[in-house]
Amino acid sequence: MADIILNVEVRDRTGTGGARETRRAGLVPGVLYGGAKDPVAISVKANEFRKALYTGKLLGHLVTLKYGDETQPVVAKAIDMHPVTDEPVHFDLYRVDEHQLIKIEVPVHFKNQEESPGLKKGGTLNIVRHTVELACPADHIPEELVFDLTGLEIGDTIRMSAFTLPEGVKPATDRDYVVATLAGSSASASADAATDDAAAAAATTTV
């Protein structure tokens, strides 16, 4: 089961007015969705919610919702932040079974930039997708996907199929979409052209 526990209260008032009243009381309003049950308006103490959020293991992870003596595994799929204060103002939780197959966005990161010949030549890593949607058991959601850039040259394309996925995890769609590309900069292109011209001139002189 998840490490994070959210102690929730049920909200009587919904809508914009109810959400504002909840925030004034020092709580973060949210909604519990999913399963065969109706949506339920809930709230969590603001300090507890911030503490859970700042662990980095709340959004997109399996957590435990606790209401009185009842517990329920849930996944936090959306958290709205205030544009100025950057404080959480609303969240969405989804009911799941612990081993249920779910679709969820997972962040993508890249390593060993210094081992990429293309980047050493001045190329640029253009990231098309910072997250990818995966289908995986609710209790085995990957923290992230990491791609090794070792050996990549300018012009190489990184597609979803190039990632090594954990056992039981697969892409949410069958389409093999582009995640990132290694493009050449104008500076590196000019340098390559200059090198080619110099080589051609040397060859002509030799002949």
pLDDT digits (tens, 9 = 90+) for 93-143: 999 987 889 999 999 999 999 999 999 999 999 999 999 999 999 888 898
Q: Does domain 102-206 have CATH number 3.40.930.10?
A: no
Say how many C-beta atoms besides its own lie within 10 A of residue 44's C-beta. 22
Scanning the structure block, which residue is given the tokens 């517990």?
71
What does the pLDDT read at residue 195?
Answer: 45
- Answer whether 0.75 is exceeded by the pTM: no
Spell out the domain ranges in the chain: 5-97, 102-206
pLDDT digits (tens, 9 = 90+) for 7-22: 999 998 788 888 889 9
pLDDT digits (tens, 9 = 90+) for 41-82: 999 999 999 999 998 888 888 899 999 899 999 998 889 999
pLDDT band at 206 (very low <50, low <70, confident <90, very high): very low
Q: Which fold has domain 5-97?
A: Ribosomal Protein L25; Chain P (2.40.240)
What does the pLDDT read at residue 196?
Answer: 45
What does the pLDDT read at residue 2?
Answer: 52
pLDDT digits (tens, 9 = 90+) for 186-201: 544 444 444 444 444 4
> What whole-number distance in Å separates Cα of residue 76 and Cα of residue 78?
6
pLDDT digits (tens, 9 = 90+) for 170-187: 999 999 999 999 998 754
State the average pLDDT for the chain.
86
